[in-house]
Structure 1
Amino acid sequence: MAAEQYYDEAMAILARDGAAGLKIGPLCRALGVTSGSFYHHFGSWSGFVRRLLEFWETDQTDRVVRLARATADPLQRMVLTKELTLGLRHDCDAAIRAWAAIDPEVGRAQRRVDGQRRAALEQVVADVVPDAAEAHRLAVLGISLMAGFQQTCDPRDKDLLRGLFDDYQRLIMTYAGAPLGSGPPSNG
């Protein structure tokens, strides 16, 4: 069994049951493998957690940043970033945020991911909003919007999140000096 299958199932368990539900036994049962197979792949629980967090960071942050940067047009990059962000596993992110409050290693990973996401968003916004200080504040607002949504709403409510991100995009366009309705149309 590939390590990615363990990570995908662990993310599903986190999204459904939170960190308290993520244990070797339930994970192995869900995958139909033995705990020996788990230890063969990861050596220990802490080894698994470290690699799971690396997978999460790569899959849910690095991949999104790479895909967004592949688009040359700044307005299209902003729209693509929004669409890619809508596709994140927000229910899993919400569980990781809660887990981060009680596990220092998870907390470090969460802060690193938030920092990477903010920096990437700031680059996207700065391509549309000429003032660097405004672009920075708008990026912090965007990450805060996403994290707040994950913590205070049903993270599976994609319609609400799309509406919030559409509002956020309109706000960015006002800072860019464009009329409120300008920019590429939303797909929602």
Structure 2
Amino acid sequence: MAGKSVQVGPEQYFDGAMAILANDGTSGLKIAPLCRALGVTSGSFYHHFGSWAGFVVALLEHWETEQTARIVALAAATADPGERVTVLKELAATVPHEAEAAIRVWAALDPDVGRAQARVDDERRAAVERVVSGIVDDPEVARRLAVLGLAVLVGFQQTCVPPVVDVLGGLLDDFEAIVRAHAR
């Protein structure tokens, strides 16, 4: 394929970065390996992002939008409050768990990544609380259950390496049962 120019957009860079994070962690996420994985030059990278810092900002915004805002919107689109719990549970199984575990490590090392991680956690906790509040009357119980739900996801990502989706499914089934036990 010598002489053929490969065209990739920001989305492919983000997907490539998440794959590197999942496989190699933060230490593997660098411009050269990312470009090599995509079959592009570093010039392409700089054309899209201007700098490493620009890439990091764009990657984190993409992650926040795709793995939080999109999931929240899909769950909220379900009319039945009880069904929203099931939908949210099913969507939680689809996030890139290994990459997110690496992002948490990165967040401990980089304040900008840490702020993005905190925003994602806050958005997810608030979304779970809204979903749980649809079937649990007591706002304090709904708040605690939302914290528990987020703790289940984060704890799974940090302790189940490599992630076993069946284990997460069981944990989320348990969480759903606890939520339903507190239903009106």
Q: Confirm or deny a common fold (TM above 0.5).
A: yes
Alpha-carbon distance between aligned partners in 1 of 2:144 and 2:55, rounded to the nearest angstrom: 36
1:11-160 mapped onto 2 (5 Å cutoff): 11-160=18-167
Alpha-carbon distance between aligned partners in 2 of 1:75 and 1:159, rounded to the nearest angstrom: 22
Maintained 8 Å contact 2:145/2:179: yes
Alpha-carbon distance between aligned partners in 2 of 1:64 and 1:174, rounded to the nearest angstrom: 24
Q: Counterpart of 1:164? A: 171
Instruction: Report the CA distance between 1:111 and its aligned residue.
Output: 0.3
Identity %: 61
SS at match of 2:135: coil
Maintained 8 Å contact 2:156/2:163: no
Maintained 8 Å contact 1:19/1:99: yes
Structure 1: gaps (5+ residues): 178-188
Equivalent residue letter for 1:12: A
Structure 2: gaps (5+ residues): 1-7
Instruction: Report the CA distance between 1:156 and its aligned residue.
Output: 2.3
SS at match of 2:109: coil
Report the more deviating stretch, 110-119 or 152-161. 152-161
Change (3 A) 1:25 1:101: same
Alpha-carbon distance between aligned partners in 1 of 2:173 and 2:162, rounded to the nearest angstrom: 17
1:176 and 2:176 matched: no
Maintained 8 Å contact 2:31/2:42: yes
1:6 and 2:13 matched: yes
SS at match of 1:72: coil
How far does the alpha carbon of each residue in 1:87-124 deviate from its partner, in whole angstroms, 9 at most, with x for none?
11111110100110001010000000000000000000
Equivalent residue letter for 1:65: V
User: C-alpha root-mean-square deviation of aligned residues, in Å?
Assistant: 0.8
Report the more deviating stretch, 80-89 or 152-161. 152-161
How far does the alpha carbon of each residue in 1:108-166 deviate from its partner, in whole angstroms, 9 at most, with x for none?
00000000000000000000111000000000011011111111112521000000000
Aligned length: 177
SS at match of 1:88: coil
Structure 1 stretches of at least 4 aligned residues deviating more than 6 Å after TM superposition:
none
Alpha-carbon distance between aligned partners in 1 of 2:93 and 2:164, rounded to the nearest angstrom: 10
